[in-house]
Structure 1
């Protein structure tokens, strides 16, 4: 496969704030790549630099082989971009925004744009100033996708969307992948990244901490489990299971962490009458600590 996005030693600081430092990254054609990190980690700075909106201080980045700063026009011709902060003319309607974008890109057929808007429930008839954040986000997604670009670069695309619309958006991303196109999107939501991405880059304090295949993420993190039985169960067999720690018992309730898969836990619990089972996925910060300690050293 060819490399669509390549960054080598990419470094950017601006306005006295940390951006990204020494970022090395490759995104291959046809993959969905998640860029995962908490707010302020450097996700938006990376995306703005890849789009040619910010000039790198050191290193370089290419999109489809074009330098993101010197050849930014060539880059933008091939990219559909959803910025983290949308800035539409607030007197224009969604329909007017899409038509303007279509004229700029030489797109005559707006049927795909209207189909996307319908799927997202986007209101294209009202001025942007009268729309909620979620409805503005829907128009931004349509504007990024309607021309079927070979690469989508999306900054926190599900922000402001309700859960049902989020589900529809993730289906749309899967369809883009099935068409052989490439998606790079940032998120601080581990669950949505795991559901649609092939690989994920984890950025921490402006530095790329790890790049992993999504299937490997659960094995490096953990889940919190809460089991409620019909009567108190002996906690010792659960405490003895590989990967189980922080076990607590409160009457008929056992709670603990599990590193790795849950198969042994489920089989042991099946020997009792289970009233309820709760499994909580780790937070993004907990995933970071599963990879790296507080001092930044890999574990």
Structure 2
């Protein structure tokens, strides 16, 4: 079942096109990673999904409802965490959490207290004294304390330390285990790689790749280190082999994933003594796309 979908979603500010025919589909129970550098169009997409911006053209739907016309109904079933949380300075963190929960008609004090404890938040302090990380924790506690059907998270771990990032990752896995759906916008590739089932990569307001991590890894390269008894000849001429270096007969290079079998067969004829491979990461894919863009003379936009 489709929870979130955009079809040719376009948003223009004057002559500037911030979103250019964005197509997304997020299904029930998925954790969908929406990645791109700052200024690629992630937050504009999310503001449109939340009904804060009206699309110039195209459609955006959540739970089958129009995100602009039916925003009030949609908001009853979603939880949202922004990347930069602003709180009422004279209220305590606990008071803000309770206000946010009451606005949605849900105050499960036991559940709230569990998340306050897990995120190690002091709810008695005034919000004016909170660091960025603690302000982020307030929003995360309020979000996870709700029984929402869709969690929209825009750079949610901004300002958190590594321990709290791990807690966050546990929380969204638990949300998924309960059949809920998560839309996670981030530029932290390692975070997306750890928790997401599918990813969409946005660049200059356009979606350039979507798919599961397995599908996307076919588009990038595996790093290989190999030592052989006999000198390897013509390695750089083999189809799919890139960036070959040789130091004291230890060869390092990259291989297009689909050519890996052929390259290993070729190497075996030189009597392999040592062989190490490192699977391609999301970061490899990401950097490859952006490198190609820069070479083509492109640049990112807000």
How many aligned positions are there? 292
Structure 1 residues 292 and 66, CA gap change in structure 2 (3 angstroms): same
Rounded Cα–Cα distance in structure 2 between residues aligned with 1:252 and 1:24: 48
**Structure 2: gaps (5+ residues):** 298-302
* Matched residue, 2:139: 140
Rounded Cα–Cα distance in structure 1 between residues aligned with 2:214 and 2:284: 17
Map 1:282-297 to 2 at 5 A.
Answer: 282-283=283-284, 285-288=286-289, 294-295=295-296
Q: Secondary structure at the match of 1:107?
A: coil
Rounded Cα–Cα distance in structure 2 between residues aligned with 1:29 and 1:202: 20
* Matched residue, 2:174: 175
* Matched residue, 1:272: 273
Rounded Cα–Cα distance in structure 2 between residues aligned with 1:253 and 1:162: 38
> Could you tell me whether the CA contact under 8 Å between 2:21 and 2:58 is conserved in 1?
yes
* Residue 6 in structure 1 maps to residue 1 in structure 2: no
Rounded Cα–Cα distance in structure 2 between residues aligned with 1:256 and 1:164: 35
**Structure 1: gaps (5+ residues):** none
> Could you tell me whether the CA contact under 8 Å between 2:83 and 2:157 is conserved in 1?
no
* Residue 258 in structure 1 maps to residue 259 in structure 2: no
Q: Secondary structure at the match of 1:9?
A: strand
Structure 1 residues 149 and 143, CA gap change in structure 2 (3 angstroms): same
Q: How many angstroms does 1:46 deviate by?
A: 0.3
Q: How many angstroms does 1:249 deviate by?
A: 2.0
Map 1:24-173 to 2 at 5 A.
Answer: 24-173=23-172
Cα distance per residue 1:183-205 (max 9 Å; x no partner): 11111223222222121111111
* Matched residue, 2:300: none
Q: How many angstroms does 1:14 deviate by?
A: 2.6
Q: How many angstroms does 1:28 deviate by?
A: 1.0
Q: Secondary structure at the match of 2:73?
A: helix
Q: How many angstroms does 1:84 deviate by?
A: 2.4
> Could you tell me whether the CA contact under 8 Å between 2:201 and 2:210 is conserved in 1?
yes
Provide TM-score, normalisation by structure 2: 0.83
> Could you tell me whether the CA contact under 8 Å between 1:225 and 1:280 is conserved in 2?
no
Map 1:168-207 to 2 at 5 A.
Answer: 168-207=167-206
* Matched residue, 1:244: 241
Cα distance per residue 1:87-117 (max 9 Å; x no partner): 2112222111111112212223222122122
Q: Secondary structure at the match of 1:7?
A: strand
